[in-house]
Amino acid sequence: MANTIQAIRGMKDILPGESSSWQYLEDTLRGVVHAYGYREIRLPLLEKTELFRRSIGEVTDIVEKEMYTFDDRNGDSLTLRPEGTASCVRACMEHGLLHNQVQRLWYMGPMFRHERPQKGRYRQFHQIGVEAFGLEGPDIDAEMLMMTARMWKQLGISDVVLQINSLGTPRSRASYRAALVDYLAGEKSSLDEDSLRRLESNPLRILDSKNPDMRQLIEAAPSLPDYLDDDSRAHFEALCLLLDAANIGYEVNPRLVRGLDYYTRTVFEWVTDSLGAQGTICAGGRYDGLVEYLGGKPAPAFGFALGLERLLALLATGGATLPDNAPHIYLVLNGDKAVHRGLVFADELRDVIPGLRLLANCGNGSFKSQFKRADKSGAQYALVIGDDEAEQGNVVLKPLRSESGQKVYTQEETAKRLLDLLELERTA
């Protein structure tokens, strides 16, 4: 075994025992975004490195140290996408989807960041992202937050808190930035290495520091809301009223920032105490400057991304029992005639019972070993056909999870009986 190849650190296999939880989560989230009329856009995993350098920004953790970047065979620098917004904007511009129109889009899939792997932090992880273009009012901000709140409701998650803030306009932020730099420059001896570096390049990002030693200093820093321009203040107040009307609780967190220049006005995060250090499950905000920054005609935009691994972990801490996709039925087939008749019969059942999950035994085996497989499959019932049953057109139905006895049915009766049983299970 010494030389067997293993998966790349921080990139996890999702095994059959886990995949039904993923499907449940994906289906639920897809259902919610569709309930708001958003449409899916599918984007490549690879983009030109330049796209992320420009859109995410040179002085961010992602671009400075987290990207998977390599030269392809033509010598072009490519990068595995670390997030979806950049590709989404690129695709919309490229296909003329932004000019004088509103777009409400979503996407889902893997993202790649070379971070230190730990609980809730992986090198390949999954996000669902939602973006709206062409809308500048606070109504779309509110609708997106209502959408996220509905996701938690549908998933039965309650231990999350919404934090919101406004970054104002680039202009109002510039005056805040100056005040912040003033303050931090006076505290230089208390700044950690990262913060010292950011003091020059991206001081707002210091507010986002994860170093506990920096907390006190950050608490005492000038407060962003004090520097808001009137229009941004009105936008934020209108958003708060809309959230109140929708009965969505929130905390205003004046230290909440996104470190990039094209971010404007609303920013938000959904956070939980239940996952330790990796407590942000969903984050986003308004980025009115990005489309123009990437060379398009200016278009307001609002979006968010949600980490699926963290959401699944949160579901698990809540003790939710997630549906699994175990088969309903294991079909035991003993003897050649039984195999002949049984495989065809199984397909007839699949024709008449929508949603039936039927696992037919293949590879023969004694009754005993087939029942072992049936048990292991998680099926609720076994259908049994031996050569005698095949001859007579009968089937034995045997419950696998209760003591109630087995019964013989004709093949025609079996479908009806199964429909009843599975309907009972659905409504239980």
Contact residues for 391 (Cβ-Cβ < 8 A; gap 6+)? 337
Give the whole-angstrom CA distance, residue 374 versus residue 255: 56
Mapped onto helix, strand or coil, the DSSP state of residue 399 is strand
Cα–Cα distances in angstroms (integers) from residue 371 to residues 156, 349, 386, in the given order: 36, 20, 13
Tell me the H-state helices in 275-366: 290-293, 308-317, 336-352
- Residue 218: which of 205, 236, 235 has the closest Cα? 205
Closer to ligand ATP by Cβ: residue 242 or 257: 257
Residue nearest to ligand ATP (CB): 307
Closest Cα partner for 63 from 45, 81, 37? 81
Contact by Cβ (8 Å): 379, 356: no
**Footprint on residues 109-138 left by ligand ATP (CB under 6 A):** 113, 115, 120-122, 125, 127
Listed ranges 152-160, 277-285, 313-321, 384-392: which one lies at the site for ligand ATP (CB under 6 A): 277-285
- What's the min distance (Å) between Cβ of 125 and ligand ATP? 3
Pairing of β 381-386 and β 264-271? unpaired
Contact pick of 18, 26, 83, 194 for ligand ATP (by CB under 6 A): 83
- The distance of closest approach from Cβ of residue 228 to ligand ATP in the complex, given in angstroms and rounded to an integer, is 22
Residue recorded with tokens 């980490």? 307
Least separation in angstroms between CB 60 and ligand ATP:
9
In whole angstroms, give the CA distance from residue 304 to residue 263: 12
Q: For the window 288-317, what string marks contact with ligand ATP as x by the rule CB under 6 A?
A: -----------------x-x-xx-------
Residue from the set 280, 377, 380, 394 that interacts with ligand ATP by CB under 6 A: 280
Biggest CA pair distance of the chain: 92
Amino acid identity, position 62: I
Residue 278 found at the interface with ligand ATP (CB under 6 A): yes
Exposure on the CB side of residue 328, measured as CA atoms within 13 A = 20
Which of 122, 227 has the CB closer to ligand ATP? 122
User: Does position 281 bind ligand ATP by CB under 6 A?
Assistant: yes
Binding mask 184-223 for ligand ATP (x = CB under 6 A): ----------------------------------------
Comparing CB distances to ligand ATP, the nearer of 59 and 343 is 59
Dihedral over Cα of 5, 11, 17, 22: its sign:
negative
Report in angstroms how near the CB of residue 270 gets to ligand ATP at its nearest: 8
**Of residues 57 and 307, the one with the C-beta less far from ligand ATP:** 307
Residue 25 beta carbon to ligand ATP: minimum distance, rounded to whole angstroms: 13
| Site map (CB under 6 A) of ligand ATP, residues 230-269, x = contact | ----------------------------------------
Q: Binding segment for ligand ATP among 138-146, 219-227, 275-283, 353-361 (CB under 6 A)?
A: 275-283
Q: Which residue lies nearer to ligand ATP by CB, 81 or 328?
A: 81
Least distance in angstroms from the C-beta of 64 to ligand ATP: 12
- If the CB atoms of residues 26 and 83 are measured against ligand ATP, the closer one turns out to be 83
- Tell me whether residue 169 or residue 280 sits nearer to ligand ATP (CB atom): 280
Task: Name residue, tokens 């920013």.
Answer: 267
With contact defined as beta carbons under 8 Å apart, do 32 and 146 qualify?
no
Q: Which residues of 142-161 are buried (b: 16+ CB within 10 A; e: fewer)?
A: bbbbbbbbbbbeebebeebe
Q: Which is nearer to ligand ATP, 110 or 365 (by Cβ)?
A: 110
Residue 194 vs 229, nearer CB to ligand ATP: 194
Q: Is 241 in a helix, a strand, or coil?
A: helix
Q: Which CB, 54 or 337, lies closer to ligand ATP?
A: 54
Per CB under 6 A, the segment of 139-147, 192-200, 223-231, 273-281 that binds ligand ATP is 273-281
Q: Are 79 and 67 in contact (CB under 8 A)?
A: yes
Does position 271 interact with ligand ATP (CB under 6 A)? The reply is no
**Tokens 């930035």 — which residue?**
177
When the beta carbons of 314 and 385 are compared against ligand ATP, the nearer one is 314
Locate all alpha helices (DSSP H) within 300-392, ordered by sequence: 308-317, 336-352, 367-377, 387-392
Assess 283 for contact with ligand ATP (CB under 6 A): yes
Token duo for residue 246: 């929708």
Residue pair 229/168 in contact (Cβ under 8 Å)? The answer is yes
Residues at the interface with ligand ATP (CB under 6 A): 83, 113, 115, 120-122, 125, 127, 278, 280-283, 305, 307, 309-310
